Amino acid sequence: MQSTTIRRAVAQDAQLLTSLIQQSSAYQGRYASIISGYRVTAEYLARHRVFVAVDASDRILGFYSLVLEPSELDLAFVADEAQGLGIGRHLMGHMVGQAGEAGLTSVHVVAHPPAEKFYRRMGAKRVGTVAPSPPKIVWERPELQFAIPAGPRAVTATH
């Protein structure tokens, strides 16, 4: 596998991140309404801790957004063609490290239902269910939480 690096997202990444979300096969069919019209903006990138996983040619393979107040994993996506390569695992490890550096003790996640198993494999625990909020979201969503270990963390940025 080629080298993957995690770097902070910059304003110029906004359109590429929007495209990654809009092209996600995980949000086709029944789940399409939740991302309909959604855009990642330069302002969003400036306001939150958004990190991208890139290959050696700086092609974006996935990203996540950590909101500090209240602590929440707001977005997490891996490009369809990069699924199964460990990119999501790499991003979640980085997110836990960033949360620890920010002094957080936990990170809340309202998950896309098909992604619940992934988050649980990454160490998140289910803490509840979020009710539908029609008309855009007509299904229940799992509510999970990552416990963030105390103390300094060594975070690896390449694999």
125-141: pLDDT as tens digits: 999 999 988 888 888 99
Q: Establish if 93 belongs to a structural domain.
A: yes
Q: So what's the pLDDT on residue 152? A: 55
**Among 127, 131, 147, which residue's Cα sits nearest to residue 139?**
131
Q: Establish if 159 belongs to a structural domain.
A: no
Q: Establish if 157 belongs to a structural domain.
A: no
The position carrying tokens 């999501």 is: 88
* Residue 65: CATH number of its domain: 3.40.630.30
Q: Establish if 31 belongs to a structural domain.
A: yes
67-106: pLDDT as tens digits: 999 999 999 999 999 999 999 999 999 999 999 999 999 9
Containing structural domain, residue 92: 5-147
CB-neighbour burial class of residue 102 (10 A; exposed 0-12, middle 13-18, buried 19+)? middle
Tokens of 24: 């996600």
Number of structural domains (the chain) is: 1
Name every residue whose Cβ is closer than 8 Å to that of residue 53 and which is 6 or more positions away in sequence: 4, 5, 6, 60, 61, 62, 63, 78, 82, 87, 90, 91
